[in-house]
Structure 1
């Protein structure tokens, strides 16, 4: 399993992880606990009701939150989501969605983040997340 250094993605050194590419999320900037990105949504993410599936909206916010928290971590730290709460304000359609994420509280072991997603300058969803901060482990796989 290959891991991707998100700081290297932010700085244009590495390609983004597959999840970013699959959804069409691209980071524009990330620093000091803040990130901003654009999500280019294609029609294959539509549900049977003709709108973007809510889980994809949460995933896109989670991606941008990962960049925000990564901008504050040391090279010996990593993170994992504890929870993700998404509130939908209006339907989302194919096109561009702007995503902004912010670390509201950066703790030693737990951090709290928020994200806002906007399409056509209108908020489509707001997301909150608690994230566990951990010591980075050796990524070698043992079977």
Structure 2
């Protein structure tokens, strides 16, 4: 998308995503951070987390429509040239959310490397699903 629309447009998309994510969190009890690129971290209340994440997906889907022309939205893709200058059809922007759901005192002991690996797995699983996606790895299942 950056090659077609430029870095400034990519920055607009990231800012739109950050605002969208931020609008759903309780800033006194939850946390949002930008890791880098298009990766963010959220620390949410586990009781409301999955519901909030579904709402975030829907909100971002609605808000990011403005980044495309009406004909692109109708077609479900946009046309441009790939890096070799060949005409190509590119999928529209989507959002994939990978989650590691933690539980207090569930017996699952994770160090920072374990947590980072689980987060990476959740992200890759979410990205493997087409379109807007949410994949949750629940640590309760790991402690069994």
TM-score greater than 0.5 by the shorter chain: no
More helix by share: 2
More strand by share: 1
- Superposition TM-score, scaled by structure 1 size: 0.31
| Higher gyration radius (CA) | 2
Q: Which has the higher contact order (CA 8 A, sep 6+)?
A: 1
- Superposition TM-score, scaled by structure 2 size: 0.30
